[in-house]
Amino acid sequence: MDTVEVLPRLHMFRFPIGQAYLWRDGADLTLIDAGDINAASAIEDGVRSLGLDPGHISRIVVTHGHCDHYGAAQELADRHGAEILAHRLDAAVIRGEEEIADPLLLDWELPLWEHARTVPPAPPTRVDRELSDGDELGFGQGARVVHSPGHTPGSIGIHLPHHGVLFTGDCVARADRVMLGVFNIDREQAVASFRRLAALEPATVCFGHGDPLTTDAAAAMLASADRDSGLQIEHG
């Protein structure tokens, strides 16, 4: 696992597939996603490498119900007394009560999907607080939920307007450019969510996959959302 500073109060933990983020409010820590089932110890080591105490992880916010994003959430929560938060529409999947719907794959996504399926399945994971659009999350001086369905029904972005930071989950990704995320259950809905996230005009964008964007982030998000919206119209 690599630990990358995004901002002085924000670090990324990068795994072979996917990543998680750590936000710091003084001693109080928040995890955005929690990697796969094998990530708990690496995340704890990453927190300690920053001179911080994993015992101060107060909450783990899960952006959506895919196992590379919540696999280690309950292990970490049980060890450190953290609360697990997720949108109400993905909560049953995370708890293991329902199966996640299969994505509608484009041809070029098929080999990526085969690789993604090598992530080990996550155990049933409790959700202590079910979220809805606009809910305040108790960190980052006013972090709020931005419901961003399409990748999954309960996908969320997390917006810290005071700091100009946006976590997109897997609605938006970054490879050689900013782009609509892959493996969407409803592509048209995902494009609309992308446009909604872009309209927030964040200064820093943290993706579920790909390196964070800290320069000209708002312009890149808006341009990419417009481009992908046009492609959706052409192919829809």
pTM: 0.95
Largest CA distance in the chain: 50
Give the position of tokens 């916010």: 61
Query: In which order are the strands placed within the sheet that holds 204-206?
Result: 144-147, 156-160, 165-167, 204-206
Residue spans of the domains in the chain: they are 2-235
Two tokens, residue 236: 């829809």
Asked if 166 and 200 count as a contact pair (C-beta separation under 8 A), the reply is yes
Q: What is the CATH number of domain 2-235?
A: 3.60.15.10
What tens-digit pLDDT sequence spans the chain (236 residues)?
Answer: 999 999 999 999 999 888 999 999 999 999 999 999 999 999 999 999 999 999 999 999 999 999 999 999 999 999 999 999 999 999 999 999 999 899 999 999 999 899 888 888 999 999 999 999 999 999 999 999 999 999 999 999 999 999 999 999 999 999 989 999 999 999 999 999 999 999 999 999 999 999 999 999 999 999 999 887 655 534 44
In angstroms, the CA 207 to CA 165 distance is 11
